[in-house]
Amino acid sequence: MRYFVGIDSSTTATKALLMDETGAVVGVAAAEYGYETPQPLWSEQSPLLWWEGTCAAIRGVMAKTNVTPDSIAAIGLTGQMHGLVLLHKAGEVLRPAILWNDQRTAAECDEMRAVFGKQRLIDVTGNDALTGFTAPKILWVKNNEPEIYAQIAHILLPKDYVRYRLTGEFASDKAGGAGTQLFDVRQRDWSAELVAALGIDPAWLPPTFEGTAVTGTLSPSASQATGLPAGIPIVGGGGDQAANAVGTGAVVDGVVALSLGTSGVVFASSDQPIIEPEGRLHAFCHAVPDKWHLMGVMLSAAGSLRWYRDTLAPGVGFDDLLAPAANIPPGSDGLLFLPYLTGERTPHPDPLARGAFVGLTVRHTQAHMTRAVLEGVAFGLRDSFELMKRAGLANVNQVRASGGGTRSPLWRQILADVLGAELVTVNTTEGAAYGAAILAAVGVGAFASVPEACAQLVRVTGRTGVSPAVAAYEKQYQLYRQLYPALQPLFQQLA
């Protein structure tokens, strides 16, 4: 039996997952760590935490299982996207990494639009400039830390720093590269035009590879640190959302991945690059070779339900909170909830957007409010589906759902009815790390392709079909869509 390791370097922990060649997860281990907020809106982390976490997680998962180190056939990498890791010519870290959730670069986003043009930026990269992306972070260092900028020799993403420590090689995957906003998304590589316009030295950027390509092998020093034999192939992998899509089987047209965690993500694979004309959806390369994806991000999805519970029903379990809501009719008797509790990204990139209950009367009970929260989040996720359809995405045949919110049968039914598509759950709960392990297995020939591997390894474990409530939700959704345009001027004044 051969085994494959998936490494997921997230913002709060590094996870190592061990998968056998039948697709069974035989072990998972994690090493937790924190990040720093040295100033308001800033978010930074020492890259050494990811490396130490990788070593600890690998040793931890091997200790949990009876797997011998020499049966590890390949390692796949995934992790947080968009972070900026700067190294000098000796390969040492120049400053703490600036993370995906750092918000300091608003001026640099404006600079990118001024230098390159907003529409040209969208046309080339598939995205408008956003504070979370890597490119404006590079400009921020140039503008604010010139002594650091002058020493840059290598620019890496978080998981690619882990790759460097594992192999000694500088490399990135195409899904992660697209998330820097320095990629020509159609050409699947760095945009020479944009890199030159921003004054970035192209020598700083690593070569890019497809998610299943072997990018190096485990070095002797990394062998000593991890306890695994030197020479194990390390494949390209992908950013966390692309790897999660592989882990849930969203790798073919018509299958959409929906992640219902604190934030909500709608992820659709495509055989061709599709760019939303106004940049309201993220358009990136997929971790699957020669595929692309569209992605919509909702900032407060299951986070809306947690806020609601903690604020209005503290101490009540989620199952007990949701049970009475099942007896409320679809549409919550005319009550709407707007889930913009932390601003919004898709379809309204507006940090000043706010949440609201609209339509409250004395007839409404707490159960009505609970159901309205579930429905409002579902409507917010549908906004991404509607943008994808208008941008040219083919029909959605199936939605593969993951994340803590999908444990609720009621919420799954509401989502299926609001989206008008079958909602399924699958056998994997460790989506991103599992996807990285699948990419590793394909990379060393255990499967002919990623779609073939997913067809064999990812199994549907539950189905929620569309009910007659779909008609009621269609009417309610059209009312929901009017809320943001009506309230947006007030949000500006409140802020």
With beta carbons less than 8 A apart as the criterion, state whether 243 and 438 touch.
Answer: no
Residue ending a domain, among 175, 206, 236, is 236
* Inside any domain, residue 223: yes
Same domain, 408 and 484: yes
Nearest to 484 by CA among 300, 269, 372, 339: 339
Question: pLDDT at position 404, please?
Answer: 84
Question: pLDDT at position 155, please?
Answer: 98
- Give the angle 370-375-378 at the CA atoms, nearest 5°: 135
Same domain, 196 and 278: no
Same domain, 302 and 206: no
| Mean pLDDT calculated for residue range 477-485 | 98
- DSSP, collapsed to helix, strand or coil, labels residue 491 as helix
More confident residue, 376 or 344: 376
Same domain, 219 and 119: yes
* Inside any domain, residue 156: yes
Which is it for strands 44-45 and 183-184: parallel, antiparallel or unpaired?
A: unpaired
Has residue 88 got a pLDDT over 90? yes
Question: pLDDT at position 350, please?
Answer: 87
Has residue 427 got a pLDDT over 90? no
* Stretch (H or E) spanning 422: strand 422-426
Q: How is residue 226 written in tokens?
A: 């991890």
- The pLDDT tens digits for 332-349 are 999 999 999 988 889 998
| Mean pLDDT calculated for residue range 317-341 | 97
Question: pLDDT at position 465, please?
Answer: 94
* Inside any domain, residue 308: yes
CATH number of the domain to which 350 belongs: 3.30.420.40
Q: Percent of the chain, pLDDT > 90?
A: 84
Residue ending a domain, among 236, 266, 297, is 236
Has residue 395 got a pLDDT over 80? no
Q: How is residue 93 written in tokens?
A: 């870290």
Same domain, 89 and 227: yes
Total domain count, the chain: 2
Has residue 38 got a pLDDT over 80? yes
Question: pLDDT at position 398, please?
Answer: 86
Same domain, 366 and 403: yes
* Inside any domain, residue 94: yes
Has residue 30 got a pLDDT over 80? yes
Q: 76 vs 7, 215, 256, 341, 443, CA distance in Å?
A: 6, 10, 23, 35, 9
Average pLDDT, the chain: 95
Question: pLDDT at position 68, please?
Answer: 95
Same domain, 229 and 274: no
Which of 8, 20, 173, 240 is labelled catalytic?
Answer: 240
- DSSP, collapsed to helix, strand or coil, labels residue 72 as strand
Question: pLDDT at position 208, please?
Answer: 97
Same domain, 25 and 72: yes
Q: How is residue 184 written in tokens?
A: 């020509």
Question: pLDDT at position 335, please?
Answer: 98
Using CA atoms, how far apart are residues 92 and 422, in angstroms rounded to an integer? 49
Using CA atoms, how far apart are residues 447 and 436, in angstroms rounded to an integer? 14
Has residue 394 got a pLDDT over 80? no
Question: pLDDT at position 475, please?
Answer: 97
Question: pLDDT at position 29, please?
Answer: 96
What are the DSSP calls for 114-162, one per residue?
HHH-HHHHHHHHSS---TTSHHHHHHHHHHH-HHHHTT--EEE-HHHHH
Same domain, 189 and 294: no
Question: pLDDT at position 445, please?
Answer: 96
What are the DSSP calls for 214-247, one per residue?
EEEE--HHHHHHHSSPTT-EEE--EEHHHHHHHH
Nearest to 6 by CA among 206, 162, 189: 162
With beta carbons less than 8 A apart as the criterion, state whether 144 and 157 touch.
Answer: no
| Mean pLDDT calculated for residue range 206-212 | 97
Question: pLDDT at position 103, please?
Answer: 85
Q: Is 201 a catalytic residue?
A: no
* Inside any domain, residue 257: yes
Same domain, 298 and 196: no
Residue 115: CB atoms within 10 Å: 14
Residue 90: CB atoms within 10 Å: 7
Same domain, 170 and 195: yes
With beta carbons less than 8 A apart as the criterion, state whether 128 and 121 touch.
Answer: yes
| Mean pLDDT calculated for residue range 250-271 | 89
Question: pLDDT at position 359, please?
Answer: 98
* Inside any domain, residue 242: no
Has residue 160 got a pLDDT over 90? yes
Residue ending a domain, among 167, 201, 236, is 236
> 278: domain range?
248-495
Helix, strand, coil % in the chain, rounded to nearest 5: 40, 20, 35
- The pLDDT tens digits for 464-473 are 999 999 999 9
Same domain, 232 and 372: no
* Inside any domain, residue 241: no
Question: pLDDT at position 342, please?
Answer: 85
Has residue 403 got a pLDDT over 90? no
Question: pLDDT at position 9, please?
Answer: 95
* Inside any domain, residue 25: yes
Cis peptide bond N-terminal to 329, omega within 30: no
Structure letter (DSSP) for residue 191: -
What are the DSSP calls for 286-309, one per residue?
-SSTT-EEEEEEESSSHHHHHHHH
